Amino acid sequence: MEQPLHRAPTRRCRNFSAQDAESRLRKGTAFVAVRADGKLLLRTRPSTGLLGAMSEVPTSEWTHDYDEARARAAAPKFRRKIAWRRMPGVVTHVFTHFPLELTVFAGVVARGTRPPAGARWVALAGIGGEALPSVMRKVVAHALAQAQEPKTNGKKFPNGKKLPNGKRKP
Q: Where are the domains of the chain?
A: 18-146
The pLDDT profile of the chain, 170 residues, written as one tens digit per residue, is: 454 444 444 444 455 555 555 568 999 999 999 999 999 999 887 666 566 557 889 999 888 999 989 989 999 999 888 889 999 999 998 888 889 999 999 999 999 999 999 899 999 888 887 778 888 899 999 998 876 544 444 444 554 444 444 444 44
Shortest CA distance to 108 belongs to which of 73, 138, 83, 79? 83
The CATH number of the structural domain formed by 18-146 is: 3.90.79.10
Full-prediction pTM beyond 0.95? no
User: What's the burial of 26, exposed, middle or buried (CB within 10 Å: 0-12/13-18/19+)?
Assistant: middle
Distance CA 79, CA 113 (A): 8
Cβ-contact 107, 83 below 8 angstroms: yes
